[in-house]
Amino acid sequence: MSNVTVNIVVEGPSERNFLQSVVAPQLGVSGVFILPSVVGNSDHKGGNIKFERVLTDIENYLKQRPDTLVSTMVDYFRLDSDWPGMAAIKQRLDSGESISLSEKAEVLQKATLKAVQAKLQGVANLESRFVPYIQMHEFEALLFSDGEVLAEKMGISPSRIQAVITEYDTPEHINTDPAKAPSKRIEALAGRYKKVRQSLPIAQAIGLHKIRQECQLFNEWLQSFEASVEVVG
């Protein structure tokens, strides 16, 4: 069977642990081998995501081997204002235009690819090897894919979790207001929330299938890797 290795630059240890423990085992069966790493160094705690900082890691991975894919998993609300595409989105929002979640993601990801191409012109096949992914939400949005599991793991009444879920079209839409970010919702309802320690057991209990089922943009990202195996094959 053909396979592909994907180096993914993530913003923090929780995202890395999730990819290693929940995503990698499942995609590995299909020949997609996920290798996540925290941007900059393993001590990075998340947030303060600047393009130049991520670009350094992207360049290093692209130049290590010519046959691997490179991607990102960073939160839209953690991006620096100078990140490619952010100014274009702000301009459209300031003009009163309504932009859907998928449209924002498309603007950012196309601008990110274009900026990386401009910076790394000597890298062969960059357009087919670099797959930018900007999460339009906090990582914790994925945990709302199964309200019953989240409620049980955090000791919260299921009805209170369901009340949050029903406010939005999908879990990926929860991060529309920084004051109502998914992590803040969990913390407010549970009285405490330790991301690195508590998020992984919840995600493991929910399972990748359910998360992919409920989160379209996340699922499409993983599908792009699975499709690359088919192309290679």
* Contact call for residues 4 and 31 (beta carbons, < 8 A): yes
Q: pLDDT tens for residues 36-85?
A: 999 986 554 555 689 999 999 999 999 999 999 999 999 998 898 899 99
CATH level 3 topology of 4-138+216-232 = Rossmann fold (3.40.50)
At residue 1, the pLDDT reads 45
Residues of the chain above pLDDT 70, percent: 94
If phi > 0 it is left, if psi is from -120 to 50 it is alpha, else beta; for residue 200 that is alpha
Half-sphere exposure at residue 18, Cβ-oriented, CA atoms within 13 angstroms:
28
* Contact call for residues 219 and 36 (beta carbons, < 8 A): no
Please state which of the ranges 32-36, 76-80, 163-167 shows the lowest mean pLDDT: 76-80
If phi > 0 it is left, if psi is from -120 to 50 it is alpha, else beta; for residue 26 that is alpha
Residues of the chain above pLDDT 90, percent: 83
To which residue do tokens 């290798």 refer? 35
Q: What span, in angstroms and rounded, lies between the C-alpha atoms of 73 and 75?
A: 7
Domain boundaries, the chain: 4-138+216-232, 139-208
Which pLDDT band, with edges at 50, 70 and 90, does 178 fall under? confident
Residue 55's CB is within 10 A of a number of other CB atoms, namely 18
Mean pLDDT of the chain: 92
Rounded to two decimals, the pTM is 0.93
